[in-house]
Structure 1
Amino acid sequence: MIKINKQDALNYHQLDQPGKIEVVPTKMLSTQLDLALAYSPGVAEPCKEIAKNKEDVYKYTSKGNLVGVISNGTAVLGLGNIGPDASKPVMEGKGVLFKKFAGIDVFDIEIDCTDPDEFIRIVRSLEPTFGGINLEDIKAPECFQIETALREQMNIPLMHDDQHGTAIISSAALLNALELVNKDISTIKLVMNGAGAAAISCLKLYLSLGLNVENVVVFDKDGIINADRQDLDEYRTQFITNRNITTLEEAMVGADVFIGLSAGNVLPPEYVKLMAKDPIIFALANPDPEISYDLAMSIREDLIMATGRSDHPNQVNNVLGFPYIFRGALDVRATEINEAMKLAAVKALAELAKEPVPELVNKAYEDNTITFGKEYLIPKPLDTRLITHVSPAVARAAMESGVARRSIENWEQYEQELLERIGIDQKLMNRIVSRAKKSPKRIVFAEADHIKILKAAQQVLEQKIANPILLGNEEKINAIIEEHGLDLSEATIVDPIKEEALREEFAQLLYQKRNRKGMTLLDARQAVLSRNYFGSLMVETNQADALISGLTRDYSKTIIPALQVIGVEDGVNRVAGMYIVQARKEPYFLADTTVNVDPTAEELCDIIGLSAKAVRFFDTEPRMAVLSYSNFGSSRGPIPSKAAEAVRQAKKKYPDLIIDGEIQANTAVNKGLIQEHYPFSQLAEKGANTLIFPDLNSGNIAYKLLQEIGGAETIGPILMGTRKPVHILQLGSSTRDIVNMVAIAVVDAQVYNKEI
């Protein structure tokens, strides 16, 4: 598990702008007319229409895509009853997941109320605001009463995710696990350890799938739930067992399935031996499961296991469910989330796990062996097919069960709309990080005496992205580590001043490379005192796999040592730089933004080739536009002519590329504009996602404006064309930027080593 530094977590939530979410207008508000339309007097017109027909609220407002994440903070994560104020960061986080995975907007509402009846009244009164309600972190048994009452009294989809999210995901995993061992759910013996909201909901959904209640034994913190217990509420009473057992050990004898929704390390390993042939254990307590994965798997070779953790197979993660369930429910304006819709989600998840895994998912997890089986019962969270499998299944079930107020006629079109809502490539860095973790590489940090570098080094160590080599004065580095309470005991520190023999070896190698470029041996010995030269030589001599530098020095001063030592890859005449701009719908790739000042048409053609290769590195097919101030000859001048000639050469050299130009930037990315005025263009169907600038001036200005004024998140600069992996940071990069660049460098090294 990733170790979280307390101050880093507080800074993440506090700095720049407190919190994790904000409201962004979806309409222009730049003129007096805009303001008049948005508010008074124009706003009166949709108000009058809604007053005449209440359903028009979905037509004229954002209600249809707005979910309320509502809590009173009585059962937060593993923190318990911490109150509504302290629960707000969690509710904001849930809102971020809704938006990221399903394109759903969220208002989080924390209610200072523990009385169930009053809580019900408050939430019910919010129905005019929201298209759906996600109840969160409300303790049992009140959560059952609250959800039941609100479902009866409200006409919008509502779900307590702590109950049903875990139930839906674990049900899909359970169905597939039982299929693998050829067992029927109606005959299995199941032990449930835990009787809270999630456990009770899981059992109820398992019963809907065919589980026989007489084959179920349930334990809570006070022991077995049987007829001798006088403290049981109505929700636990329905799972009273009549079997003559009193202990967990007795219950485990011959059990087919153990489900844990309780506490860590409460299942003794010897109990696993008591289970039936081909046992199934879902140890879902977090962060520590009821029994550790490695221990349990070492006991039984025939065991199938799932946990709630991301570092083991079969993670039961609610993010596989709630975003897509609400997406489908909202899109047909369902009046509730009923049993049919939940079962549809279960079956969609179970079936998706049996389908061939696309290359995109294999690359995201750097595993070409992902296939339905004991270690792959349910889809991976980064599988982009989830939204097009689960949401339509839920929407269809809502329509068929009679709770939909809107029908979907064209399902193919609906699936395309779903992908456009989230941007199919939104998880770009997640995929790169996952790939990096599969085979971490040695990354040498040339500026290891900077706190940002050291924090990034700790993070990549903890996340198992890379093995850091910290270059610099050993005493200074250790002092910074101690001062800031970092743990870099597993990192390697290399102090060039102390490495006299290695310095001389590097000086001789550098002299051999540069003696006909005016460098003397004395010059070489002086140069290797520079950490950029020293780090580059470590990569060149295979003592490191990639170099990261540039945090504190100008780009040009950082890149020269790497080019002199490592050089360009075979068949490449020059290097170039690219930035990735993370837009809402998809990423955009901008080149050259860092290296070539005024490239010729021939040099632009080389940059096009490098950029196409780099974009494909990020699992994206490039759609390239060579930019200028002209659209296909609308203006004359040296830049349009250069851009047009570069496109002509590129089409000849790279015939498989989707590329066009010269073209203006706004035209290139606006497919509607291209389709209207330039339907002949290769970019007319989808618009461009890769922008080639005619010179460094325009490229550099563009990405910096997008970053600062546009508020876009950028990744880069990514250096393209070096023979071995070298990546130069932007001056003043954040720790997050550095970690992203390390992940890219690791995957770059994997490609260089022909591992992928």
Structure 2
Amino acid sequence: MSTNNNRDQKNFNQAALDYHSVEPKGKIEVIPSKPHSSQRDLSLAYSPGVAIPCLEIERDPKLAYEYTGKGNLVAVISNGTAVLGLGDIGAEASKPVMEGKGLLFKIFADINVFDIEINEKDPDKFIEIVKGIAPTFGGINLEDIKAPEAFYIEHRLKEELDIPLMHDDQHGTAIISAAALLNALEIAGKKIDEVKMVVNGAGAAAVACTKLYLELGLKKENILMCDSKGVINHKRTNLTPEKLDFVANTEMETLAEALKGADVFIGLSKADVMTPEMLLSMAENPVVFGLANPNPEINYELAMETRKDTIMATGRSDYPNQVNNVLGFPYIFRGALDVQARGINEAMKLAAVRALADLAKEPVPEAVILAYNLKNLNFGREYFIPKPFDNRLITKVSIAVAKAAMESGIAGKPIENFEDYENDLLDRMGRDEKLIRMMQNRARSNPKRVTLGNAEEYNVLKAAQILYEEGIAQPILLGEKKYVQEQMKKFGIELNVPIVDPMDEDQEENRIKYRETLWKLRQRKGMNEYKAKRYVRQRDYFGPLMLHHGDTDALIVGFSKNYSSTLKPILKIIEKD
């Protein structure tokens, strides 16, 4: 088994090198965004035409957002002192990670990025370099800078710059894990202001996470923070200012002691520090976030085998409930950039938390389920944080952040119409879908009754749910009522729409009406009254007869039958034009 694992790892390592070395080198590139095919285009792009906007910006620096790409350009900046789980590998070695971050900004939120690796470990010199290049950018994402310098660097830069700035290792993890925490506690039936929490790790991410949890209602007296030396208690000396904020008045010294009776474990440390015995000592329905990468503080399978009531999240994509920063930073910056915010404040972070938590409770689009090769996905123990490829994130989170920036008074350019803004966001992520959205918007203005055959099928029920919840149409489910209701319960689909069962007693009036119609339409083609009476109890005939009588505006059938057998009964009732 270990030989296979070694071979798989070797193959993956080679694949990673091949991926990064193939031409063109790197993961992001600069491409022209304006016409450049003629001499006139070039004279407008550069000399002499470029002088005109230069003078306008000199007169009013804010016009840089109007005449340049500044408003959609973020700097991803690192000095390489805390890169992923690799530690201090240096500025140049951090470049693949920073390019990767740029790629994520672009594909998830259409934000352009320059990655900047600064070979400087002195915090004050690093700050001066960033301040010097800041006019180029609409926002700055600090990345992979070690603590405690990261705290000082971010604090200074936030005070001295007037553009959105965030150290994602701190606040990105905090925002996503906070959203996951709210939902996990709801599933556990616990309140955040009552739970006892143990945080293992006291670096930049751990401190930022815990501070944000406090903003959500967690009580400071209910927190025990541990570092590599154990519980941060009143007996400890030589603590950093950040750790001093979380000193507990307790005699407990070890992680094992701290976890006894705890409701929540937040791991931002290293692999395998939590044992099954520690997990067993926690309270009922323990919430366990093992966020160490690449391996969590306790293996997911081991945790689930140890306690079936464990509610768990990790940083890994191959387990449920991945706390992935890509759920946050692209959309937080998107919303902040679009209102030209002068920073990223607590109100904006909390708005992102609430938006993410709420989104996980909404029905999951079929496209997301297909992307992850799942049968179904409903809010619960195995799904309480959205998936990274959920295309609703850009609208839900970005809009929430933009509104929070406006309400907290730091938006330089407020959004006037959020419906238009939502469409603009969707256009950014898929202009090919613009016609579809136009058609959907038109449908929403006058939703029609749409009857869906084969309503017992999961995919048909999911389609009905989407039509209903998005207001595109008024679905009518056609099928065996009892079985349809059983399937809805099985898949957790709640729909307050009519279920039409041709065999039901409440359809007797329609059956009589439809029988007479079918007999009259087909009496010269071999149809007698007995056959008509029998056929109208079949959905293949009942659905087209609903359409013929105006009892529905549209009919969608054929999910489980071939084209010819589906069309045959329809053509007996609905004439071709």
- TM-score under structure 1 length normalisation: 0.56
Deviations 1:707-756 (A, max 9, x none): xxxxxxxxxxxxxxxxxxxxxxxxxxxxxxxxxxxxxxxxxxxx99xxxx
Deviations 1:353-403 (A, max 9, x none): 011112222222232421111111111111100001000000000000001
Distance 2:91 2:421 in 1: 37
Check conservation: 1:75, 1:81, Cα contact below 8 A. Answer: yes
Check conservation: 2:357, 2:384, Cα contact below 8 A. Answer: yes
Give the corresponding residue for 1:49: 56
Check conservation: 1:423, 1:586, Cα contact below 8 A. Answer: no
Match of 2:325 among 304, 318, 326: 318
Q: Which has the higher helix share?
A: 2
Match of 2:95 among 82, 85, 88: 88
Give the corresponding residue for 2:84: 77
Give matches, 1:583-594, under 5 Å: none
Deviations 1:98-140 (A, max 9, x none): 0000000000111011011111111112221000000000000
Give the corresponding residue for 1:287: 294
Deviations 1:609-635 (A, max 9, x none): xxxxxxx9xx9xxxxxxxxxxxxxxxx
Give the corresponding residue for 2:166: 159
Give the corresponding residue for 1:141: 148
Distance 2:218 2:132 in 1: 37
| Letter matched to residue 118 of structure 1 | K
Give the corresponding residue for 1:275: 282
Give matches, 1:105-184, under 5 Å: 105-184=112-191
Check conservation: 1:384, 1:424, Cα contact below 8 A. Answer: no
Match of 2:108 among 90, 101, 104: 101
| Letter matched to residue 97 of structure 1 | L
Deviations 1:507-533 (A, max 9, x none): xxxxxxxxxxxxxxxxxxxxxxxxxxx
Deviations 1:208-236 (A, max 9, x none): 00111111111111222112222210001
Check conservation: 1:361, 1:383, Cα contact below 8 A. Answer: yes
Q: Report the 3-state secondary structure (helix = DSSP H, G, I; strand = E; otherwise coil) of the residue aligned with 2:166.
A: strand
Give matches, 1:661-740, under 5 Å: none
| Letter matched to residue 366 of structure 1 | N
Check conservation: 1:193, 1:261, Cα contact below 8 A. Answer: yes
Distance 2:141 2:370 in 1: 33
Distance 2:187 2:14 in 1: 46
Distance 2:138 2:410 in 1: 14
Deviations 1:243-277 (A, max 9, x none): 22111111111000001011111101111110011
Distance 1:226 1:325 in 2: 35
Match of 2:353 among 316, 336, 346: 346
Aligned-residue Cα RMSD (Å) equals: 2.1
Q: Report the 3-state secondary structure (helix = DSSP H, G, I; strand = E; otherwise coil) of the residue aligned with 1:354.
A: coil
Give the corresponding residue for 1:355: 362
Match of 1:249 among 246, 253, 256: 256
Distance 1:178 1:402 in 2: 32
Are residues 164 and 586 of structure 1, via their aligned partners in 2, closer, same or farther at CA, if it must alter by over 3 Å? farther
| Letter matched to residue 135 of structure 1 | L
Deviation at 1:7, TM superposition (A): 3.2
Q: Report the 3-state secondary structure (helix = DSSP H, G, I; strand = E; otherwise coil) of the residue aligned with 1:336.
A: coil
The answer to whether structure 1 residue 35 and structure 2 residue 42 are counterparts is: yes
Q: Report the 3-state secondary structure (helix = DSSP H, G, I; strand = E; otherwise coil) of the residue aligned with 1:106.
A: strand
Percent identity for Structure 1 against Structure 2:
63
Deviations 1:533-568 (A, max 9, x none): xxxxxxxxxxxxxxxxxxxxxxxxxxxxxxxxxxxx
Q: Report the 3-state secondary structure (helix = DSSP H, G, I; strand = E; otherwise coil) of the residue aligned with 2:326.
A: helix
Q: Report the 3-state secondary structure (helix = DSSP H, G, I; strand = E; otherwise coil) of the residue aligned with 1:126.
A: helix
Distance 1:44 1:389 in 2: 40
Deviation at 1:424, TM superposition (A): 7.2
Distance 1:182 1:128 in 2: 48
Match of 2:394 among 376, 387, 392: 387
Deviation at 1:9, TM superposition (A): 2.1
Deviation at 1:158, TM superposition (A): 0.1
Are residues 586 and 366 of structure 1, via their aligned partners in 2, closer, same or farther at CA, if it must alter by over 3 Å? farther
Distance 1:245 1:424 in 2: 58
Give the corresponding residue for 1:306: 313
Distance 1:319 1:332 in 2: 21
Distance 1:251 1:81 in 2: 31
Deviation at 1:586, TM superposition (A): 11
Deviation at 1:11, TM superposition (A): 2.5
Distance 1:298 1:14 in 2: 41
Q: Report the 3-state secondary structure (helix = DSSP H, G, I; strand = E; otherwise coil) of the residue aligned with 2:411.
A: coil
Match of 2:267 among 240, 260, 269: 260
| Letter matched to residue 369 of structure 2 | N
Distance 1:229 1:271 in 2: 23
| Letter matched to residue 220 of structure 2 | V
Check conservation: 2:231, 2:258, Cα contact below 8 A. Answer: no
Distance 1:263 1:6 in 2: 22
Match of 2:194 among 187, 195, 201: 187
Q: Which one is further off, 4-13 or 282-291?
A: 4-13
Q: Report the 3-state secondary structure (helix = DSSP H, G, I; strand = E; otherwise coil) of the residue aligned with 1:138.
A: coil
Distance 1:214 1:8 in 2: 48
Distance 1:91 1:259 in 2: 26
Distance 1:313 1:174 in 2: 14
Deviations 1:301-348 (A, max 9, x none): 211000111111100000000000000000000000000000000000
Give the corresponding residue for 2:512: none
The answer to whether structure 1 residue 369 and structure 2 residue 382 are counterparts is: no
Give the corresponding residue for 1:17: 24
Give matches, 1:442-453, under 5 Å: none
5+ residue gaps in structure 2? 437-458, 463-560, 563-577
5+ residue gaps in structure 1? 427-584, 588-615, 620-750
Give the corresponding residue for 1:411: 418
Q: Report the 3-state secondary structure (helix = DSSP H, G, I; strand = E; otherwise coil) of the residue aligned with 1:404.
A: coil
| Letter matched to residue 362 of structure 1 | I
Q: Report the 3-state secondary structure (helix = DSSP H, G, I; strand = E; otherwise coil) of the residue aligned with 2:278.
A: helix
The answer to whether structure 1 residue 220 and structure 2 residue 241 are counterparts is: no
| Letter matched to residue 94 of structure 2 | S
Give the corresponding residue for 1:537: none
Give the corresponding residue for 2:504: none
Give the corresponding residue for 2:343: 336
Q: Report the 3-state secondary structure (helix = DSSP H, G, I; strand = E; otherwise coil) of the residue aligned with 1:295.
A: helix
Give matches, 1:650-661, under 5 Å: none
Distance 1:280 1:9 in 2: 34
Check conservation: 2:109, 2:429, Cα contact below 8 A. Answer: yes
Check conservation: 1:156, 1:336, Cα contact below 8 A. Answer: yes
Match of 2:69 among 51, 62, 65: 62
Give the corresponding residue for 1:744: none
Q: Report the 3-state secondary structure (helix = DSSP H, G, I; strand = E; otherwise coil) of the residue aligned with 2:252.
A: coil
| Letter matched to residue 263 of structure 1 | K
Give the corresponding residue for 2:406: 399
Deviation at 1:425, TM superposition (A): 7.6
Are residues 201 and 58 of structure 1, via their aligned partners in 2, closer, same or farther at CA, if it must alter by over 3 Å? same
Give the corresponding residue for 1:5: 12
Q: Report the 3-state secondary structure (helix = DSSP H, G, I; strand = E; otherwise coil) of the residue aligned with 2:136.
A: coil
- TM-score under structure 2 length normalisation: 0.73
Distance 2:159 2:391 in 1: 34
Distance 1:254 1:423 in 2: 49
Q: Report the 3-state secondary structure (helix = DSSP H, G, I; strand = E; otherwise coil) of the residue aligned with 2:360.
A: helix
Distance 1:26 1:382 in 2: 26
| Letter matched to residue 117 of structure 1 | D
Deviations 1:621-675 (A, max 9, x none): xxxxxxxxxxxxxxxxxxxxxxxxxxxxxxxxxxxxxxxxxxxxxxxxxxxxxxx
